[in-house]
Structure 1
Amino acid sequence: MFQVLSGIWALLIGIVLIMLGNGLHFTLIGLRGGIEGFSSSELAIVTSGYFIGFLSGARLTPRLIRRVGHVRVFAALGSFMSAGLIAFPLLTEPWAWTLLRILVGFCMSGIYVTAESWLNDAATNETRGKVLSAYMIAQTLGIIGAQGLLAMGDAQTAGLFIVASILVSISFAPILLSASAAPVTEVSRPMPLRDLFKGSPLGTVGIFLLGAAYATQSGMGAVFGTQIGLSAPQVALFVAMLFAGALLLQYPVGWLSDRMDRRKLIFGAALLGAASCLVGWLTGGGLWLLMAAAFFAGGVTTPLYALFLAYTNDYLSTEDMPAASGGLVLTFGVGAILGPLAAGWAMQQFDPFAFWLVLGGIFGAIALYALYRMTRRPTVPVSETESYLGVLPSTSAVAVESAGAWASEQAEAKDESEA
């Protein structure tokens, strides 16, 4: 593992710094929006703006890279993102923040595509799984670390926005100085939704619902914490627990994934998420029960994303996997746009604890649909399933396709060894 990290450590440091800046701004939006008097519905629209930009960036960035190259695209998107972050406190209006969030989402998506292309190019067939795992850990640690920075500043001033901008700006130095010759960036055309659903109904519906859950957690979690009266350090801890759970539960879920019917595991993980949301709703603001609910609700979200990818690949040929990965990323993005809107509307109409009801309802829907699909299709033998590899919902189609290629390679190697 140390040998693998020696070749990509600078890229990983850059990723950690980017995630520190991006994770800081994500939570800061909820805190500062509450201070400025934005309603839940307005902050939901601001949150969805990020995912609108992210989807657009995922489609357009590969074209820009082919036209002007990795380095220019990376530098340009980094400059625009840094400028966007520092502009938030200059014009504190919901419409302005929505436009800025679209810009930041677009830039962040393009940065992912570019950085993941370099990481993928630096990996070999033997090291690809370890490289992707290190990348996912670096991303998650950056998001968690950002919450610690939030607790050290004052959301009422422009200081934390400036810190986020600085972190993003300096993150490009280790990446650009260490990157090798620009790799070829090829992202497959997404599989049409009809074909994707025909191949894997549970994977398609599940990942759409999961997109709504992930965006609700990451975008509206800070809004919920602010509205129930948590202090800034407590809001930061609440958001950190959402991602800490994902970091710690990824391995046990992945271990089980390669040893049992994945539909049962999807059902169990979604049921745990729904039960955690029920606890969060019933706490009435009790701090430590609230943190435990966040740990498990957030903890099952990222593993479920990787589970849906692996489960979908179980029913596809190797040739169809890249296109299916693109289709799943697109489907997830659409869900991510709609989820915060539903949560924001519910929190506006009822009370902030409707955050848990919406989130729990999404997990419950996933569990029920998984249970239904168990009655419609026979189980794929464990020996014939693709390998599981943890992939974060925030990654681009480049990392998802790379993970799919790695899983396919592992399955082929396993077949050859058995033969």
Structure 2
Amino acid sequence: MLVQIGTLIAATSLVQLANGFFNTFLSLRLTTENFGPTLTGIVLSAYFIGFSIGAVGSGAIIQRIGHIRAYAAFAGMVVVGTAGMALFVSPLGWILCRMAIGTGCVGLFITTESWLNAKAPADQRGRIFSIYMVGTFLALAAGQLLIGKLPIVSLTPFFIIIALFALALMMVSATRAEAPALAPEASLPYGELTRQAPVSVIGCIVSGIVTSAFYALVPAWMARNDIPQATIALFMLVAVLGGFAFQVPVGKVSDRGDRRVVLAGLAIGFAVAAILIQLVPPRLVFVLPIAALLGGFMSTLYPVCVAHALDRMPQDRVVAVSGRLILVSGIGSALGPILGAQVMGQLDINGLLYFMAAAAIALAAVAGLRIRHRAPPEQMAERPFAIIDPLAAPISQEPEATDADGTPRPLPT
């Protein structure tokens, strides 16, 4: 059993290694294609559009054909999309391919996480999911290191990405693990979620906007200004590691008080860091610590939003809340590169940073207003906070959705 679980975690780490490299690589590659700001933004947003589509439909596919076949189908979709980008260099072709890649990636994450959730022993689930998320974070970080080692204007990066996804598929396809069943999901209208936890909904949108804009557009600006690839890779690596370092401390703080206060503090901290990085001398000794702060603040916005929403909703809505919020975040993520590219095209990198800072300040203002008008919940959610990486949030079943043997629990009546 543990060998099978280890295989799933290792395969997902390979997927995230490819994903972390792919996102930054594409941002740099687009600077050489002359698509223009609008089309560049749409290409970068297409992944998140596909991600949102997959978040809605992947569960039904898994239930219909099973986990192993679904994993193979989703991995195949990613491989075909990546190969298509290598073969057909055009705005429309890349938009369609990135949508397919986003849909396939979210399917891989849902398949893996629901599989892990069902097969992990009940008394070890927390540790297993912690190892899983640490692995994905470190793989995302390692993906940035490849940026400084490979030529951007060549087919080599595409081949490496395809090989990593194919290797993950081989590992999972060879496992003997039985395919688990998915738990039933309680219905949750978006209107009810918005009424009960408006700060979470707005926060997920803002989190999606600033995170996708940062990871998609900042490397592109650095490349256009002739900053060496190795320096770009180091900057992005520090941002990812900053996000990882913030997860546990922020989680502990948010579990002890009103999460809206924590959310407002994170948003203000991000805005201050986004402004500060424009004021310091352009030297790594000054810029890298601020990159870590930017990564830390923005990567913890989403998990705090999810935790706050879970505080406001009944226990049987845990799965539904997670699914709704990842879709909301996906919409924000799709908007981020499009809006950010337009702003950066007019006002350069300073405009982009001020745009992201303004979005964060707006979130802090909304959180402050809600703090004044509504008291915090008397009881926190039983599973209040989870480590979530900035580019691929866990969106599948929660551990509470199944029994120790992986059997889906019936919904409360």
Answer whether TM exceeds 0.5 for this pair. yes
RMSD, matched Cα: 2.2
- Give me the whole-angstrom Cα distance separating, in 1, the residues matched to 2:376 and 2:289: 33
- Give me the whole-angstrom Cα distance separating, in 1, the residues matched to 2:177 and 2:3: 14
- Map 1:248-397 → 2, pairs under 5 A: 248-283=245-280, 285-381=282-378, 387-393=384-390, 394-397=392-395
Unaligned runs of 5+ in 2: 403-413
Count of residues in Structure 1 that have an aligned counterpart in Structure 2: 401
- Map 1:28-107 → 2, pairs under 5 A: 28-107=25-104
- Map 1:11-22 → 2, pairs under 5 A: 11-22=8-19
Identify which range, 186-195 or 295-304, moves more after superposition.
186-195
1:132 to 129, 133, 143: 129
Identify which range, 304-313 or 57-66, moves more after superposition.
57-66
Identify which range, 234-243 or 95-104, moves more after superposition.
234-243
Task: Report whether the alignment pairs 1:156 with 2:153.
Answer: yes
| 1:196 to partner: Cα distance | 0.5
Equivalent residue of 2:365, what SS? helix
User: Could you tell me the percent identity over the aligned residues?
Assistant: 27
Match of 2:398 in 1: 402
Task: Report whether the alignment pairs 1:173 with 2:170.
Answer: yes
| 1:77 to partner: Cα distance | 1.9
| 1:186 to partner: Cα distance | 4.0
Unaligned runs of 5+ in 1: 407-419
Normalization by structure 2: what TM-score?
A: 0.91
Cα deviation 1:309-350 (Å, max 9, x = unaligned):
111111111122222222111111111111111101101112
Match of 1:238 in 2: 235
| 1:273 to partner: Cα distance | 0.8
Q: What letter corresponds to residue 398 of structure 2 in structure 1?
A: S
Equivalent residue of 1:183, what SS? coil
| 1:404 to partner: Cα distance | 7.0
Distance change >3 Å, CA 263–CA 154, structure 1 → 2: same
Distance change >3 Å, CA 236–CA 193, structure 1 → 2: same
Match of 1:188 in 2: 185
Equivalent residue of 2:181, what SS? coil
| 1:272 to partner: Cα distance | 1.0
- Give me the whole-angstrom Cα distance separating, in 1, the residues matched to 2:195 and 2:179: 37
| 1:392 to partner: Cα distance | 3.1
Distance change >3 Å, CA 129–CA 307, structure 1 → 2: same
- Give me the whole-angstrom Cα distance separating, in 1, the residues matched to 2:237 and 2:380: 37
Distance change >3 Å, CA 38–CA 281, structure 1 → 2: farther
Task: Report whether the alignment pairs 1:219 with 2:216.
Answer: yes
Normalization by structure 1: what TM-score?
A: 0.89
Q: Are the counterparts in 2 of residues 329 and 397 from structure 1 also a CA contact under 8 Å?
A: yes
Distance change >3 Å, CA 352–CA 387, structure 1 → 2: closer
